[in-house]
Homo-oligomer: A and B are copies of this chain.
């Protein structure tokens, strides 16, 4: 992408961010201010302010989060594993340089350390400058924020984790490998014996193939794989799915609450989010081996 997807409308001179959600569908948000725009070594990074959703982070033209609705996503990425794992102490977040999932993870007093590895240092730096509500926990003494290629890190590290949360951008270019079996194998190797992995698996309406692929590859690596879902208004179609892969415990069963306030998640929503509408259940039905 060569230019930011912000254009000025002729009729009233207003600015609009236009996101190509698919080849045939776009979401447009009015923009009151372009706060930051740069080409990083990795991607086009844009931060704008919008009347509908507040400050909005856009990477390579795709909305990553907005101040107003990120809680729907961040809470569901963090708390499902942290409330169902038998005793989570060490967490690894891959991606997530905005800090929103880190903030949610650190609400749990039992967490001893949370390492966040984002490939793009500029995302982290800009989040600190422009997104205080998401980057607010980066200086927590339990937080360990690093800039490097997480796929290389997990191949080499001798560290072990209880929960790995994969907060990727869309599955293209450097992020494509994050939805395939070799990556899941690498994650499995750095998990403790009761470990869990959480990863977004896109929308069943706008990215059916990726969703099915990710779940199929997870099943080829982990003994327990479940899907859950929720709403994220600024993600394509609003219906968002998540894959939960576990070495032992069932991610669908919460065994502790979140200490601290949440706006989307609670233990009843946790259980309800694993109940899939029949059309979605059908899309990921396990095929018997030939």
A interface residue numbers (CB < 8 A to B):
16, 18, 22-30, 50-52, 68-69, 71-72, 203, 205-206, 231-233, 237-239, 261-266, 268-269, 271-272, 275, 277-279
Query: Provided the pairs A71-B279, A231-B239, A278-B263 are in contact, do residues A26 and B24 lie with their beta carbons within 8 angstroms?
Result: no
A32 CB, nearest partner CB in chain B, Å: 9
Closest-CB distance, A254 to chain B (whole angstroms):
13
Q: How far is the CB of A151 from chain B (nearest CB, A)?
A: 31
Please give me the residue from chain B that is nearest to A231 by CB atom.
B239
- Chain B residue with minimal CB distance to A31? B24
Copies in the complex: 2
A192 to B167 CA separation, bound complex (whole angstroms): 52
Assuming A205-B233, A263-B278, what are 14 further A-B pairs, CB within 8 angstroms?
A16-B26, A23-B51, A24-B29, A68-B205, A231-B231, A233-B239, A238-B239, A262-B278, A263-B277, A264-B278, A265-B278, A268-B275, A269-B277, A271-B275
Contact pick for A51, options B24, B203, B232, CB 8 Å: B24
Whether A52 contacts B22 by the Cβ 8 Å rule is yes
Give bound CA distance, A232 to B22, whole Å: 17
Contacts of A16 in B (CB 8 A): 26
Residue of A18, A23, A263 with most chain B CB atoms under a 10 A cut-off: A263
A219 nearest CB across to chain B (Å): 22
- Once the chains are docked, how many angstroms separate the CA of A268 from the CA of B266? 18
Query: Which of B18, B237, B261 is within 8 Å of A233, CB to CB?
Result: B237
**A203: B residues at CB distance < 8 A:** 233
A29: which of B25, B239, B263 is its contact (CB, 8 Å)? Answer: B25
Q: How far is the CA of A263 from the CA of B239 in the complex (A)?
A: 15
Most buried by B among A22, A68, A233, A238: A238
Task: Looking at the assembled complex, report how far the CB atom of A241 sits from the nearest CB atom of chain B, in whole angstroms.
Answer: 11
Quote the shortest CB–CB distance from A67 to chain B (angstroms). Answer: 13
Q: Which of A28, A261, A262, A264 has the most CB of B within 10 A?
A: A28
Of A23, A25, A51, chain B has the most CB atoms within 10 Å of the CB of: A25
Q: How far is the CA of A262 from the CA of B27 in the complex (A)?
A: 29
List residues of chain B with CB within 8 A of the CB of A239.
Answer: 231, 233, 238
**Complex alpha-carbon distance, A23 and B50, angstroms:** 11
Whether A28 and B26, one on each chain, are in contact in the complex, defined by CB atoms closer than 8 angstroms, is yes
Are A25 and B27 touching (Cβ within 8 A)?
yes
Q: How close is A136's CB to chain B, nearest CB, in angstroms? A: 19
Q: How far is the CA of A210 from the CA of B230 in the complex (A)?
A: 23
Q: Which residues of B contact A26 (CB under 8 A)?
A: 16, 27-28
Could you jot down 8 A-B contacts, CB within 8 Å?
Answer: A24-B29, A24-B50, A25-B52, A72-B277, A233-B238, A264-B279, A268-B275, A269-B277
